[in-house]
Amino acid sequence: MDILALEAKSQNGAEAEKKPTPKPKPKAPKKTKRIVYFEVEILDLKTKEKLLLLDKVSLMFCAAKCLRDEEVLQTLPVGTTASFYFSDMGPQLTWGTVFLAECVGPLILYLMFYFRLPFIYSPKYDFTSSKHWVVHLACMCHSFHYIKRVVETLFVHRISHGTMPLRNIFKNCGYYWCSAAWMAYYINHPLYTTPHYGQQQVNAGLYIFLVSFGFDILNVLFISGSKVKKIPYPTKNPFTWIFWLVSCPNYTYELGSWIGFTVMTQCVPVAFFTIVAFVQMTVWAKGKHRSYLKEFRDYPTLRSSILPFIL
């Protein structure tokens, strides 16, 4: 019995040795990524002359007046051949640089008139101080306003365009700087007269300014820094509730600040600047409001652009 069992085991072992080992399955070939190539023509915007032809372009980021910086060629509604028009826009400056120049200039100029530096008024008034408390309040309000704008430019504002023509800095700064000098000259003048209704008018104007200024600051603190364009909605923060009524509350608050400053100082140049600023901010606000309505079908219809239920 033991011999038979041993023979059976040896036969089974021989059969096991004869069985071929299974061959490993061949690996499936890797799928090659499909690469789409484009042929890109770059033409002069004015003469339509072909400046450059790019062949077999696989990926390209496009930056132009009508295209966003993050646009990718593959996502644009073009075929395998695309034509781009090149326009020499001349020397450019970043928007942030222009905004800073617009704000820093009025801040410095106003303080020059406030401290009555030489060659501004009569020599006997050099480095003197006004006896009217409203003049000092006006200087503080004006300074706080432009300091806030500088901080917003550096840390808050979402600038959608990269650059602007160099000539714009002269136009923009000329307007803001001249306006600041004009109002500062009269408010800080040694012969300046206080508002007609006295301290009550000053207090009313200061209250309007502080409420608008404070609401604007607290509203800015809760603005998201994301570059993704979306519908702004009110949050639990009560200072954002104005979004139920207007699309651009920053312009609404700024308008309120300048109205308060006008009432407080009773100065014609300030009133003129406020009117011009209101017209310009209305144009900007209506443009932004229209872009919201065009881009978002579910945009709240109750909202106005800058003045609730009016404009």
Q: Which residues of the chain register pLDDT less than 70?
A: 1-39, 45, 51-52, 54-89, 157-161, 220-229
Three-class SS of residue 44?
Answer: strand
Range of the domain at 75: 39-89
Examine residue 8 and state whether it is found in any structural domain, yes or no.
no
Alpha carbon distance 305, 285 (integer Å): 5
127 and 239 housed in the same domain:
yes
57 and 173 housed in the same domain:
no
Residue (of 220, 244, 238, 256) closest to 303 by Cα position = 244
Provide the CATH number for the domain around residue 54: 3.10.20.90
- pTM (2 decimals)? 0.72
71 and 106 housed in the same domain:
no
pLDDT, residue 10, reads 47
76 and 167 housed in the same domain:
no
HSE value, Cβ hemisphere, 13 Å, CA-based, for 171: 5
Residue (of 66, 95, 206, 241) closest to 159 by Cα position = 95
80 and 101 housed in the same domain:
no
pLDDT, residue 226, reads 53
Examine residue 58 and state whether it is found in any structural domain, yes or no.
yes
85 and 214 housed in the same domain:
no
Examine residue 208 and state whether it is found in any structural domain, yes or no.
yes
pLDDT, residue 112, reads 96
Q: How many CB atoms lie within 10 A of CB 111?
A: 16
Examine residue 223 and state whether it is found in any structural domain, yes or no.
yes
50 and 99 housed in the same domain:
no
Q: How many CB atoms lie within 10 A of CB 185?
A: 17
How confident is the model over 148-193, as pLDDT tens digits? 999 888 887 666 557 778 888 898 899 999 999 999 999 999 999 9
Those residues with Cβ within 8 angstroms of residue 309's Cβ, 6 or more apart along the chain or in another chain: 245
pLDDT, residue 2, reads 45
71 and 99 housed in the same domain:
no
pLDDT, residue 81, reads 60
pLDDT, residue 241, reads 79
pLDDT, residue 5, reads 45
How many folded domains does the chain comprise?
Answer: 2
Alpha carbon distance 77, 174 (integer Å): 42
pLDDT, residue 67, reads 58
Examine residue 14 and state whether it is found in any structural domain, yes or no.
no
78 and 138 housed in the same domain:
no
How confident is the model over 93-138, as pLDDT tens digits? 787 888 889 999 999 999 999 999 999 999 999 999 999 999 999 9
pLDDT, residue 215, reads 83
Examine residue 233 and state whether it is found in any structural domain, yes or no.
yes
